[in-house]
Structure 1
Amino acid sequence: MTGTSEIISLRTRLETGLGGAARAWLDQATAEAAAHRERLERAEPGPTATWELRFAEAGRRCGPDHADAARILLLHAAHPTPVTLARIYAQGTAAERRAVLRALPHLVPGPDALPLVEDALRTNDTSLVAAAVGPYAAAHLPAHDWRHAVLKCLFTGVPLDAVADLPRRASGDAELARMLGDYATERSAAGRPVPGDLHRAMELTEPTAPESPSAPVGPLNGEEQES
């Protein structure tokens, strides 16, 4: 799970890029989210969860370059249950869904949120696919589904650097090697180029392949996606 220091670092970076009005809005929105969380923990009645409205308006308030980070901070402050996360995801725009996916590692310790990852992997939205194969999927996605997620990245053009913990999970995976080989054969037979990432992934499937660092798309990496 994401540590407090990472959240503090994310907020510091975000506030550096925000204007005064946006910083004030963020302070109020995260305070509302934290207060709602505390009321729930004490089982006290309270007003409607206004932080969810703030979550939706983060793009307008903070700008498209910072919306993801602002939404992640709101989710961290509110720490919603998997049921609430599923509702927010289902009702959200693509940008809101992406923020939910990126926040999962520090919100859900177990596999309860895998249906959200699986839903994103069924889309052809590359930003959702990239967010779906982050650290949460690396920790919880079953081997069969994870292999298909790697192929999904190749199909849609998502760089395999987006796949968190790829070297470890791919190492010695003969079935992934077979699937990648079949895909390469199909591409070649159709006269289409084989993605360079596929060859790199094939090398990683060797049991003794060195673990080259990948750049997982986690909840705290970057703030550049559109809102």
Structure 2
Amino acid sequence: MTHHRPPTPADPADHPGHPARTDPAALRGPLTARLDAPARAWLDRALDEAAGPPGTHGPLSVWEPRLAEAGRRCGTEHADAARVLILHAARADTAALDRVYRQGTADERRAVLHALPHLVPGPDALHLVQDALRTNDTRLVAAALGPYGARHLDPHDWRHAVLKCLFTGVPVDEITDLGRRAHGDTELARMLGAYADERTAAGRPVPGDLHRVLALTVPPPADGTGIDGKET
């Protein structure tokens, strides 16, 4: 049975923060406000387990099975946030994150990607981002281009990830720091132009998001007024 309380217009937690972009300390309150009593109790237990002394269930840490339960216990719409909170409470290191990612479902893998900016300060987990970008799962691709990917992907891989979003239909709004990284990137502009030409030559529509990204690659005029009056 899924335990979650549907939002109401008066609910202050109707729009909880994105789990990759919101500090876990600020994520828990809005999440628990949206859960019913059984789900809140389950989450509290799971977080206590994760924060406690290390334990094992066979080869797994005691908290790892809770990641698989999160969707059933908290509702699928809240599972990402619950999983990120559990990973954060457990202070999961790169080895644990790698294990959860490799052994988990697509939903658990996405939660690992969301948790990376909270748990891994350097590029040690970049291989997980790169793995997600090789998949055809658009939700994993979007999660891979969150704050951690924005911080650590090199320009070559990042440009190709942007193109992958365009041809798989991932909205470019999902790409963290798109404006900053695309700004003045003439190589990205060249790649976008080539992709647009290929689509046009094949009689296929050019994704509208392509023009948005292309505009971001152009440096603003020296007077700082922007690109043709558009915000960047």
TM-score band (shorter)?
0.7 to 0.9
Q: Does 1:27 align with 2:39?
A: no
Q: Which amino acid aligns with 2:28?
A: R
Q: Which amino acid aligns with 2:25?
A: I
Residue pairs, 1:163-178, within 5 angstroms: 163-178=175-190
The higher relative CO (CA closer than 8 Å, separation ≥ 6) is in 1
Unaligned 5+ runs, structure 2: 1-18, 221-225
Q: 1:193 to 1:147 in 2, by over 3 A?
A: same
Residue pairs, 1:1-227, within 5 angstroms: 6-36=23-53, 39=54, 46-48=55-57, 49-208=61-220, 212=231
Larger proportion of helix:
1
* Distance in 2 of aligned mates of 1:139 and 1:114: 10
The sequence identity of aligned pairs, in percent, is 66
Greater C-alpha Rg:
2
Q: Which amino acid aligns with 1:148?
A: H
Tell me the matched-pair count. 203
* Distance in 2 of aligned mates of 1:65 and 1:178: 38
Q: Which amino acid aligns with 1:74?
A: I
Equivalent position SS for 1:22: helix
What displacement does 1:9 show? Answer: 2.3
Q: Which amino acid aligns with 1:8?
A: A
Q: 8 Å contact 2:163–2:192 — kept in the other structure?
A: yes
The residue that corresponds to 2:8 in the other structure is: none
4+ residue stretches of structure 1 with deviation over 2 A? 209-213
Equivalent position SS for 2:23: helix
TM-score (norm 1): 0.85
What displacement does 1:6 show? Answer: 2.8
What displacement does 1:105 show? Answer: 0.4
- Residues 113-149 of structure 1 show CA distances to partners (whole Å, capped at 9, x for unaligned) of 1111111111111111110101101100000000001
* Distance in 1 of aligned mates of 2:43 and 2:139: 24
* Distance in 2 of aligned mates of 1:47 and 1:129: 31
TM-score (norm 2): 0.83
What displacement does 1:96 show? Answer: 0.5
The RMSD of aligned alpha carbons is 1.8
Unaligned 5+ runs, structure 1: 40-45, 214-227
